[in-house]
Amino acid sequence: MSEPTTADSEGAPTPKRGSKQQRKGLFARMALFLRQMVAELRKVIWPTRKELITYTWVVLVFVVVMAGLIALFDLAMARVVFAIFGE
């Protein structure tokens, strides 16, 4: 996590006084991030192949239906605009 900070006269954060903990190096922070990321990914409940296929079809059907609705709305609005302003 982040260290508590106080602002100096220029507005830049400075470490609190009495803080014994020094900032870790770049590679140490990257290694910590990767370890935490792997630990979180192990907690994920991954879908089965059947569930994945089902979810994929649901998304594809939804996208096609929404694209059709938007196309119909666009055609209707185009006709209204052409009726009002002419061709």
Record the tokens describing residue 25, joined without a space.
């190096």
Percent of the chain with pLDDT over 70: 76
Record the tokens describing residue 55, joined without a space.
């979810």
Residues 49 and 87 in one domain: yes
Residues 31 and 59 in one domain: no
Number of domains in the chain: 2
Residues 56 and 85 in one domain: yes
Residues 26 and 59 in one domain: no
Of 32, 3, 31, nearest to 17 (Cα)?
3
Of 45, 3, 7, nearest to 21 (Cα)?
3
Residues 27 and 55 in one domain: no
pLDDT tens track for 28-64: 999 999 999 999 999 999 999 999 999 999 999 999 9
Phi, psi dihedrals of residue 13, rounded to the nearest 5°: -70, 140
What's residue 16's pLDDT?
66
Residue 15 burial (CB count, 10 A): 13
Phi, psi dihedrals of residue 78, rounded to the nearest 5°: -65, -40
| Residue-range definition of the domain harbouring residue 55 | 45-87
